[in-house]
A and B are shown apart, each in its own frame.
Chain A
Amino acid sequence: MTESNQRELSDEIVIRINQMHKWYGEFHVLKDINLEVTKGERIVICGPSGSGKSTMIRCINRLEEHQQGQIIVNGTELTNDVKNIEEVRREVGMCFQHFNLFPHLTILENLTLAPMWVRKVPKSEAEATAMHYLERVKIPDQANKYPGQLSGGQQQRVAIARSLCMKPEIMLFDEPTSALDPEMIAEVLDVMTTLAEEGMTMLCVTHEMGFAKKVADRVIFMDAGQVIEQNTPTEFFENPQNERTQLFLSQILGH
């Protein structure tokens, strides 16, 4: 059943994280992270809360700053250089746990804002793209409402569409379903699965193990700021190597 997502991966490396460390003040959050992501790869990152998984993917678009090591995204190294950071952010989309839609703008305005102001796309073209992606996430009829009028699941789908409107090369998902009611998780995961099937490079922090089994090329397990284990989903779930991974899996799959 998990064989379906075993496939040939491209050799082109789009994200390279090299001996990366991060501290919050005195606290060492991320320890010696090494990660290479190839184009089109879908990675699911899991681990107990506080393990640093969100912090790690937030480093990839510099929402968090790393203090040591290297992060290279699409050939651009993330440093203090604002130009580089903006370049990376243009190519990397991100969805948040709490959606973070702009409440003072309509859904359509949420979607067209960044293309118009960052990519300088003309308004009519930006609106056409926006409607295209709203149809993809199955809520074109909500275009003129405000985020506050939508359900959580709808808001998260809008947030995904908003990122896609920038035509990103890579998508980061930071616990996209953790704030949703069970009824709404499925509709968001559906959209993400479709996106994965179309070949988007995805890094996804999530506790949805069903999604990981179905979609991921690789599952990464983190604990205490370190990458403990990474493997294909089949191997990862059926034959976990590390003790800590086994304990984690037994806790979340055990009931």
Chain B
Amino acid sequence: MTTQKYPVGQHPNLPPPNNTVGVLFWLKENMFNGVLNSILTLFSFYVIITLLPPLLKWAIIYADWTGDSKDACTKDGACWVFIRVWFDQLLYGRYPSDSIWRINLSYVIAIVAAIPLFFSAVPKKIKLVLAAFLLVVYPIICFYLYYGGGFGLEVVETPRWGGLFLTLVIAVSGIVLSLPLGILLALGRRSNMPVIKSFCVVFIEFWRGIPLITVLFMASVMFPLFVPESLSPDKLLRVLVGVILFSSAYMAEVVRGGLQAIPKGQYEAAAALGLNYPKSMILIILPQALKMVIPGIVNTFIGLFKDTTLVLIIGLFDLLGMAQLAATNPNWLGFTVEGYVFAAVGFFVFCFSMSSYSQHLERVLNTGHRN
């Protein structure tokens, strides 16, 4: 027999017990929770304490920061003068220095147009206009800025493109174009129409089955053997197409995973309301499927971003390629580590940003998945 001190619904909300909140509780609960955890915590502290000071000494305290030749590097630590001197090449390759403003201008346009997209206060219509601008108009502007040949801008041939700039050109076009292509392939692979289905299966399995290096070699070396020089498109363009087709095959499988996770009832409800195939895909199925596979999509994006470094082997010099090239310059031998560290930091910044943004996106789009 229970006795009730309060009438139903009248029981006051009591504060939690004293020893379950606060810093000390957090430390105890998370870092010294049991013998094994305490040992691991102490071990981690030890590792940090042994590694951090030498790293700081090398990278900051004993590093050389000023000067403009190898002779300025006198101390024991890193020689950041190397990066300073090669900075423009690392960022823009052999792009003519009096035209670098063109690349910077394109960055500024992109950033200015993209910033409002990240604020929820901005009206949806403006966001749509900006997104359409970035996807349709912006690439055209970029082409004229980068390549030139119009509006009084001198032509800069693609072999002179390089550094971080080239990395971004390849990665961004790959990312932006492989997603829609991958979605189409995924839908095609689930289609009931045998011709479309088999085409998509063969396409996806072919591109997933060969290494990217093969694709790049095909694009740069083999392709010109079969097609006359005059008809052959620019090498960078061929590489871009190869990279896009390659990553769209991966994207297709990621998206297909999402499509398969959508309950059959969603397809049926959409059909029962009279929505036809394209409408039910665009309005009902894809928004849910894509949201579900954001981690997989971003994984593919990050993989693609880092795979751009492979263009080095066909003679294009991206960020990593330029760092290696600089380190093999006879006047600057012995600074490989600085070059690699710089390239690593560069790649990390971009990949980590993508990763953080995807986590943010998942939080924003989470409306609870209960059917």
* A23 is an interface residue with CB less than 8 A from chain B: no
Within the complex, which residue of B269, B270, B276, B368 is in contact with A148, where a contact is CB–CB below 8 Å?
Answer: B368
Report the separation of the CA atoms of residues A89 and B274 in the bound assembly, to the nearest whole angstrom. 5
CB distance A98 to B283 under 8 Å?
no
Which B residue's beta carbon lies closest to that of A88? B274
Report the separation of the CA atoms of residues A225 and B201 in the bound assembly, to the nearest whole angstrom. 38
Q: Which residues of B contact A118 (CB under 8 A)?
A: 273-275, 279
Report the separation of the CA atoms of residues A104 and B275 in the bound assembly, to the nearest whole angstrom. 17
Report the separation of the CA atoms of residues A147 and B367 in the bound assembly, to the nearest whole angstrom. 8
* B154 is an interface residue with CB less than 8 A from chain A: no
* A96 is an interface residue with CB less than 8 A from chain B: yes
Within the complex, which residue of B263, B266, B273 is in contact with A163, where a contact is CB–CB below 8 Å?
Answer: B273
The majority secondary structure among interface residues of chain B is helix
Number of interface residues of B (CB under 8 A): 24
Partner-binding segment picked from B95-103, B139-147, B284-292, B299-307 = B284-292
* B272 is an interface residue with CB less than 8 A from chain A: yes
Q: Which residues of B contact A102 (CB under 8 A)?
A: 266, 269-270, 284, 288
* A42 is an interface residue with CB less than 8 A from chain B: no
Size category, A interface = 20 to 34
Within the complex, which residue of A89, A93, A101 is in contact with B271, where a contact is CB–CB below 8 Å?
Answer: A89
Known contacts A146-B367, A146-B368, A149-B368; is-contact A100 B269 (Cβ 8 Å): yes
Q: Which residues of B contact A113 (CB under 8 A)?
A: 273, 283
Map CB proximity to B onto A96-120 as digits: 1 under 8 Å, 0 otherwise. Answer: 1011111110000000011001100
Within the complex, which residue of B273, B274, B367 is in contact with A103, where a contact is CB–CB below 8 Å?
Answer: B367
Q: Which residues of A contact B271 (CB under 8 A)?
A: 61, 63, 89
* B370 is an interface residue with CB less than 8 A from chain A: yes
* B371 is an interface residue with CB less than 8 A from chain A: yes
CB distance B369 to A103 under 8 Å?
yes
* B205 is an interface residue with CB less than 8 A from chain A: no
Report the separation of the CA atoms of residues A104 and B368 in the bound assembly, to the nearest whole angstrom. 8
* A53 is an interface residue with CB less than 8 A from chain B: no
Q: Which residues of A contact B288 (CB under 8 A)?
A: 102-104
A68 to chain B, nearest CB (A): 21
Which B residue's beta carbon lies closest to that of A90? B274
Report the separation of the CA atoms of residues A113 and B369 in the bound assembly, to the nearest whole angstrom. 19
Q: Which residues of A contact B270 (CB under 8 A)?
A: 102
* A157 is an interface residue with CB less than 8 A from chain B: no
Q: Which residues of B contact A36 (CB under 8 A)?
A: none
A158 to chain B, nearest CB (A): 12
B39 to chain A, nearest CB (A): 42
CB distance A100 to B274 under 8 Å?
no
Q: Which residues of A contact B272 (CB under 8 A)?
A: 61, 63, 89, 92-94, 96, 163
Known contacts A114-B274, A117-B279; is-contact A100 B268 (Cβ 8 Å): yes
Report the separation of the CA atoms of residues A153 and B174 in the bound assembly, to the nearest whole angstrom. 47
Report the separation of the CA atoms of residues A166 and B269 in the bound assembly, to the nearest whole angstrom. 13
A170 to chain B, nearest CB (A): 12
* B7 is an interface residue with CB less than 8 A from chain A: no
Report the separation of the CA atoms of residues A148 and B316 in the bound assembly, to the nearest whole angstrom. 51
Interface residue ranges, B against A (CB under 8 Å): 263, 265-266, 268-276, 279, 283-284, 287-288, 291, 365, 367-371
Between A and B, 17 residue pairs with Cβ closer than 8 Å are A61-B272, A63-B271, A63-B272, A89-B271, A89-B274, A92-B272, A94-B269, A96-B265, A96-B268, A98-B265, A99-B371, A100-B263, A104-B365, A104-B367, A113-B283, A118-B274, A149-B368
